[in-house]
Structures are given as C-alpha cells and as structure tokens.
Amino acid sequence: MLTALIFDVDGTLADTESVHLEAFNHAFAQEGLGWHWDVPLYTQLLDISGGKERLLHHWRSVQPDLKEVDSGAVRDTVARLHEIKTAYYEQVVSAGALSLRPGVLALMQAAFEQGVQLAIATTTSPVNIAALLRSAIGPDWRSYFLAIGDASNAPIKKPHPQVYQKVLADMRLDPAHCVAFEDSANGLQAASAAGLATVITPTSYTAQHDFRGALRVLPDLSQLSLAQLRQWLSERQAEPGSPPQPAAKPRATARR
C-alpha cells in the first residue's frame, strides 16, 4: 500500500542550488566581506545542512581563530548575511527563475487525484518553500500538502531524521507505506533513519554522493509512475529486514 509521497525541496523539487549560490555571493558583496563561493567550494559546503551552519563553517575555515565576542557579533553577522541571502533568493525565485524538475508536478498531480497524500520534509526555511511553490504551482500550493516539515518546526538538520519523524507524526502514517524523495546523501540518511524507502534524483552538486540503500536512483521523475512506486515498495517490503534501516547512524547537527 502506498499512502504518501514526502518530498525534500532544494535539489529535489527544483534544482535550486545555483540560485542559492548566487544569493550567498550577493550577500557577501553587499556586506563587503570579500568572500566569493565558486561551484567546487559550494559543492563541498553542501555537505553541511543549513545555510547559517554553512556560513559559520566557511567563516571558521578562513578565520580559524574566530571567537564569539561583542555579545554575539559573529552570530548576528551570520544572521544578517542569511537574511540578505534569503531575501535575494525569494526575489529571484518569485520572478520565475526556477521551475520544478521533470516529472515532479505530474507525479504530484497523479498522487493528489488518486488519494495519495503529499508532504514536504526539508531543512530550508518556510520563506524559501513558499517562494518556489507559489511560483511553480500557484497561490494555492499549500492545499496540496497534508504536512510540511521545515527549519522552523524541525530545527535539527539532516542527516538527523527529525523532520521526517515530525511529518510522519503529523500525518499519522506508517513509514512503511510512504516514499521519500531526496537528492543528497544527508537526505537519504535522514529518510532511511525514519524508516522510509527513498527515491534519489541527484543533481550536479550531489552526483558523487553515496546512495547505497536507496529504493532507486533516477536522473529525474519524468518516467516514474505511482504504479512503479507501488511495485518497488511492495518488493522492498518483501525483502528480509524491511522496513528499510538507516544507512548510517544519524548525527544531530546545529540548529539553524
């Protein structure tokens, strides 16, 4: 039985990372920091879940003696950078710079029509989710989703399973009857630790990640149907040791 599809956002619903990278660099330029993240560096930084955590990690890498002084000046600077970055991202996405990845909308529509619930489980902010889905689906985008887990209500970042556990609890559904969609190894670990079979659609930023334990790894969702998902889930449930077990023990990461 297939009862719900649970989607990550960045990289999964849309290939957003290039716009996020542009937004970070915009914030650095506006604040006169002299930082610039190129694609190889940003690809490495994506191993760290959460924009604020990514900023702080980079700052500490270029200034190893960094300390919290002046009543949280470092924390305040990171928050200001992230606020500028988020505002820029929202503006660009609202202008139509991004579209959903191939097959995403068709699969969502098929699920909606067949009574399969939809949910979101992401570490990004509510503002980023709304900007993307309002542009891609329309002003009533929220009505498609039974539950939404994000940085505001599940602050412990992937690969910790908190956001998936929250969404499953909110929906009151058995993870054995749900499928998660992710694009990264951190996402796969989080979903697996919550007991979810997971379909992976990598991007250029995550193509080299380890996806062992995934239900399937696909280039995108353009050829995927609910019938195929039901078949794969049924086969997975019939395997010894099902439901799926975590690929690795999740670790708690910093709050956003």
pLDDT in tens, 201-218: 999 999 999 999 999 999
Sheet containing 147-149: order of strands: 147-149, 117-121, 4-7, 178-182, 197-200, 216-217
Q: How far is CA 182 from the centre of its chain?
A: 7
Q: Which CATH class is domain 4-15+99-238?
A: alpha beta
Task: Determine which of 25-29, 69-73, 187-191 has the lowest per-residue pLDDT on average.
Answer: 69-73
Residue 69: per-residue pLDDT: 61
pLDDT classification of 241: cutoffs 50, 70, 90:
low
pLDDT classification of 237: cutoffs 50, 70, 90:
confident
The answer to whether residue 246 scores a pLDDT higher than 50 is: no
More confident: 73 or 176: 176
Task: Confirm whether 10 is a catalytic residue.
Answer: yes
CA-based nearest residue to 187, from 3, 11, 61: 11
| Token output for 228 | 């195929």
Cα–Cα distance, 190 to 149 (Å, whole number): 13
3-state SS of 149-176 is ECCCCCCCCCCCCHHHHHHHHHHCCCHH
Residue pair 188/247 in contact by the 8 Å Cβ criterion: yes
Cα–Cα distance, 124 to 1 (Å, whole number): 30
Residue 242: per-residue pLDDT: 62
The answer to whether residue 117 scores a pLDDT higher than 70 is: yes
Burial of 57 per CB tally in 10 Å (0-12, 13-18, 19+): middle
Residue pair 244/195 in contact by the 8 Å Cβ criterion: yes
Residue 256: per-residue pLDDT: 31
Cα–Cα distance, 141 to 90 (Å, whole number): 16
**Residue range 17-94, CATH number:** 1.10.150.240
Tell me: the pLDDT tens digits for 9-57?
A: 999 999 999 999 999 999 999 999 999 999 999 999 999 988 999 999 9
Cα–Cα distance, 157 to 140 (Å, whole number): 28
Tell me if 4-15+99-238 shares its fold with 17-94: no
Among 10, 15, 150, 183, the one annotated catalytic: 10
> Within 10 A of 87 (CB to CB), how many other CB atoms are there?
14
Residue 23 Cα distances to 36, 110, 144, angstroms: 11, 33, 28
The answer to whether residue 252 scores a pLDDT higher than 50 is: no
Tell me: the pLDDT tens digits for 3-18?
A: 999 999 999 999 999 9
Query: What are the sequence ranges of the domains in the chain?
Result: 4-15+99-238, 17-94
The answer to whether residue 179 scores a pLDDT higher than 50 is: yes
Mean pLDDT, the chain, rounded, equals 91
CA-based nearest residue to 128, from 45, 51, 42, 185: 51
Q: Which residue has the tokens 């570490």?
A: 123
Residue 248: per-residue pLDDT: 40
